[in-house]
Structure 1
Amino acid sequence: MSGKVYSEWEIAPRERLRKLQEKKMLKIVEYAYERSPFYKKKFDEAGIKPGDITSLEDFYKKIPYTSKNELVKSQRNNPPYGDFLTVPKEKIRLLFISPGPIFEPYTGEDIKIIRKNLAKTMYTAGATEKDICQVTLSYHFMPAGLFIHWAAEEAGCTVIPAGTGESRMQVDFMKKAGTTIYAGTPTFLKRLGEEAVKMNINPKKDLKLRIGLCGAEPLPMPLRKDLEETFGIELFDAYGVAELGVMSRECEYHNGMHLNEELFLVEMIDPKTLEKVAPGEEGEIVATTLEREAMPLIRYRTGDASAMTEETCVCGRTEARILGIRGRVDMLTKVKGVFIHPKQAQEVVEKFPELGRLQIIVERPEDYDQMIIYVECKESSKFAEWENKLKTEFKQALRIKTDVKMVNPGEIPVDARILEDRRKHYTL
């Protein structure tokens, strides 16, 4: 394990970790009911008292979900915090505003917990006191920049609070300061590589970057490989939601993102039935903050699609992992009993520069689901060859057989939905 273990709970037995989460869950449910007007009303309407919840099983069975729409509506009707605030306003020490808009208040105790949580991201990636971390995320109203800044401080790194933009200056700082860790979006890192070349700077030879901490955007494999080759670095992905915080991060094996289960109770649910899905199956990420003082969120539906496993990672960490972010659940559908998201198919196509856009059509002409994936190809003479190849590729990625039809560039309408479900009376 190259990344330092920051907490005993990263390698604790699953049953012991489950008991910790259960203990914290019971406490946060009672806390929210007593202090949050929103949750008192929500629980009362559901006919639930904190005393009715004695286990995680009770929690999953009885506690209602919270939606982002509820949070936004509550804050809009009763600005700035809505009915979610659980502390006196004078205890708030930090306030962010994220798209929605959503006001995110933090107490001094919240800040201490956030710093410890984020330090895991740095240590897991292998950060040390010898590193210089250049933070290129926004510090403007939103939490990303300051949060990763704190993480680097906790790990003992030297921090350059660069913020967004100013590509030429960013590259100049990297070279002169000897920056070893990049923190920001993958697309901005790509832009810095292009700017470096314009400045006659070889990103791999003239810069000292060794680690890239990416977030706020998807990190598809083609882009990851391109950036790692351009800069000679290892990239680490992370996942979080502004109103919840950073919940997971990659280790050196890059086989999913480890969840910080000390602070977050994460579930994966079927977005239509709202029932929990089996391990490894795609669903919607639902999270509960286990130690948030100012504004706890309980069973908060993120709207993001993923899958989760509790298998111990090769690195030795026992934390559950989310297996990539598939996209938004409004594009998630079930075919032949298996959840399908367009991003899964896109990741297959993106591996081959000869291919272009794609469209997924789902129909049920009789009693069985039928899925056809149309893919643009530059060489019509190789249509049959590509169709056979992609059938195998898609089966591995989607876990079901699918028909593949190659088409010429431009044959898929520009305004076509990437996934079109034509089945009638279809429910999950």
Structure 2
Amino acid sequence: MSIEAALRAREETLAPALTEVLARAAGRVPGFADRLAGAGLTADEVCRPGGLARLPILSKDDLVEVQRVDPPHGGLLAPDAVVARWFQSPGPLYEPQLEGADWRWGQALGDLGVGRDDVVLNCFGYHLSPAGAMLEQGARSVGAAVVAGGIGNQDLQARAIADLGVTAYTGLPSYLKALLEAFDTAGLGADRWRLTRALVTAEPLPDSLRALLTKRVPQVRMAYGTGETGLLAWEPADEEPGAGLVLADGVDVQVCAIGTGEPVTDATEGEVVVTLLRSDYPLVRFGTGDLSGWTLGPDGSLRLRGVLGRVGQAVKVKGMFLHPRQVSSVMDDVAGVAGYRFVIDRVDHKDELSCLVVPDGSVAGETLAEEVAERVRAGLRFRVAVQVVESLGEGDGPMVDRRDWT
């Protein structure tokens, strides 16, 4: 089967649910009706074969802007929708968790063999951002118990691994490495390490790090999703890694040409564009900003080739996005700063963020460094090492990514 034929088969499978969702959303959600009208489309037209591709892609920046103009959700939430939680991502971008919403992470965890007999240590943040709640819901959907670890307190988390018999992990791959080291440093004993499965996401998993992790955690699989859309694809547990990511059920995924937004039907790289099958919060043709491409698995199934890069200037640091626009919003009004540059490095499989600051002489260097660190922590939710320097030296723009993922 060709990629084009596999895409056509998936589209035919999703078509009934997608048509129902789009038709209902057009009459239920004012913001979506406005999007259709702005594109010169009717609900009937967008529901026809190929009609969805006529709707312009909605980028994350677009979503931030429509929420700013029509707060808090840009008119994209049905008036009768039942919101269980609100999340806030930098931008700010507000994301609702709706009653009964399924972010699909249970599909990947179930494939990994996680179930009722498991205790999952969930090391994604629960504060404002959605990842912690998403992965917890996924673990609970397959019957597993959850340790709500979040990020930090690794000594306590290592103790919980030993005391509670933790068998599975969700979080960043680099954070799992740090937990392994914390466990060994605490001298808890190899017989008390029962963690055998890990579903990791939100940062790349280079072969070198995977090899290190699998010495202690036999099954480490990569998953791909976003805070707005939930799980999109994952490495199947019954195959050797490297054969692509299988697509999650219940969500429409396209790879679209950069610039035109036209769906790609071959192996050409493009932006991952997602449509959720919900009429109460119709996130339709949402551009994730991630680059990927199609491939076929050993069984002939349609797969993504993983995250191959980013569209635009945003980069992911420690599992969270950082955009030059966000940096400017925090740094441009800091008194005493004549120039700055954020530098992203990768040291021992961990992201490190530093900020080079050129002072204008009006504020003492130590005071300036403390002020910048606090502004970044409060405004961007990153801890940053600030260095006061005479000049920025070589490099362009407010952000430089020096990471090597080999």
Please say whether Structure 1 and Structure 2 have the same fold, judged by a TM-score greater than 0.5: yes
Corresponding residue of 1:82: 74
Matched-pair contact (CA < 8 Å) for 2:122–2:136: yes
Q: What is the Cα deviation at residue 82 of structure 1?
A: 1.6
**1:66 counterpart = 2:58:** yes
Structure 2 CA distance for partners of 1:241 and 1:130, relative to 1, 3 Å = same
Q: Which runs of 5+ in 1 are unaligned?
A: 1-12, 333-349, 351-412, 420-428
Matched to 2:162, the amino acid is K
Corresponding residue of 1:361: none
Structure 2 CA distance for partners of 1:63 and 1:96, relative to 1, 3 Å = same
Describe how 1:13-412 pairs up with structure 2 within 5 A. Answer: 17-60=10-53, 62-88=54-80, 91-110=82-101, 113-114=102-103, 117-201=104-188, 206-229=192-215, 231-252=216-237, 253=239, 254=241, 255-260=243-248, 262-290=249-277, 292-309=278-295, 311=296, 313-314=297-298, 318=301, 320-330=302-312
Aligned to 1:38, what secondary structure does the other structure show? helix
Aligned to 1:176, what secondary structure does the other structure show? helix
Matched-pair contact (CA < 8 Å) for 1:104–1:295: no
Q: Deviation per CA, 1:2-48, whole angstroms, max 9, x where unpaired?
A: xxxxxxxxxxx976643231112222222232222222222112221
Q: What is the Cα deviation at residue 197 of structure 1?
A: 2.6
Q: What is the Cα deviation at residue 84 of structure 1?
A: 1.1
Matched to 1:88, the amino acid is D
Matched-pair contact (CA < 8 Å) for 1:109–1:293: no
Matched-pair contact (CA < 8 Å) for 1:266–1:285: yes
Q: What is the Cα deviation at residue 209 of structure 1?
A: 0.9
Q: Deviation per CA, 1:97-141, whole angstroms, max 9, x where unpaired?
A: 22222111233232xx33xx2221111112132211111111112
**1:415 counterpart = 2:402:** no
Matched to 2:201, the amino acid is G
Distance 1:183 1:304 in 2: 21
Aligned residues: CA RMSD: 2.6
Q: What is the Cα deviation at residue 205 of structure 1?
A: 5.1
Structure 2 CA distance for partners of 1:284 and 1:24, relative to 1, 3 Å = same
Superposed structure 1 runs of 4+ greater than 6 Å apart: 416-419
Q: Deviation per CA, 1:262-294, whole angstroms, max 9, x where unpaired?
A: 32111111212333334222111111112x243
Matched to 1:104, the amino acid is E
Aligned to 1:324, what secondary structure does the other structure show? coil
Matched to 1:257, the amino acid is L
The percentage of counterpart residues that share the same residue type is: 28
Q: Deviation per CA, 1:321-345, whole angstroms, max 9, x where unpaired?
A: 211111212379xxxxxxxxxxxxx
Q: Deviation per CA, 1:339-364, whole angstroms, max 9, x where unpaired?
A: xxxxxxxxxxx9xxxxxxxxxxxxxx
Matched to 2:22, the amino acid is V
Matched-pair contact (CA < 8 Å) for 1:106–1:294: no
Distance 1:241 1:228 in 2: 25
Structure 2 CA distance for partners of 1:153 and 1:54, relative to 1, 3 Å = closer
Matched-pair contact (CA < 8 Å) for 2:23–2:47: no
Matched to 2:231, the amino acid is V
Distance 1:250 1:137 in 2: 19
Structure 2 CA distance for partners of 1:274 and 1:306, relative to 1, 3 Å = same
Q: Deviation per CA, 1:344-392, whole angstroms, max 9, x where unpaired?
A: xxxxxx9xxxxxxxxxxxxxxxxxxxxxxxxxxxxxxxxxxxxxxxxxx
Matched to 1:241, the amino acid is T
Matched to 1:282, the amino acid is E
Q: Deviation per CA, 1:386-412, whole angstroms, max 9, x where unpaired?
A: xxxxxxxxxxxxxxxxxxxxxxxxxxx
Matched-pair contact (CA < 8 Å) for 1:119–1:151: yes
Aligned to 2:308, what secondary structure does the other structure show? strand
Matched to 1:108, the amino acid is E
Aligned to 1:212, what secondary structure does the other structure show? strand
